Structure 1
Amino acid sequence: MRDKKDNATFDLPGFEPAAPTDAVVPAPAQEAKRGPRPRRVALKQEQLALLEETDATGLPVWKRDPNLDLTGLPVWQPD
Structure 2
Amino acid sequence: MRDKKDNATFDLPGFEPAGQDDAVVLPPEPKRGGPRPRRIALKQEQISLLEETDASGLPVWQRDPNLDLTGLPIWQPDT
Deviations 1:2-45, CA, capped at 9 Å, x for gaps: xx7xxxxxxxxx848724163x6351213335224433222111
* Ranges of 4+ aligned residues in structure 1 off by more than 4 Å: none
What is the count of residue pairs matched by the alignment?
Answer: 66
Distance in 1 (alpha carbons) for counterparts of 2:29 and 2:17? 26
Q: Give the corresponding residue for 2:18.
A: 20
Distance in 2 (alpha carbons) for counterparts of 1:58 and 1:18? 61
Distance in 1 (alpha carbons) for counterparts of 2:47 and 2:36? 33
Report the Cα offset of residue 55 of structure 1: 1.6
Could you state the TM-score of these two structures normalised by the residue count of structure 1? 0.58
Largest Rg, 1 or 2: 1
State the Cα RMSD in Å.
2.9
Q: Give the corresponding residue for 1:66.
A: 65
The answer for unaligned runs of 5 or more in structure 1 is 5-13
Could you state the TM-score of these two structures normalised by the residue count of structure 2? 0.58
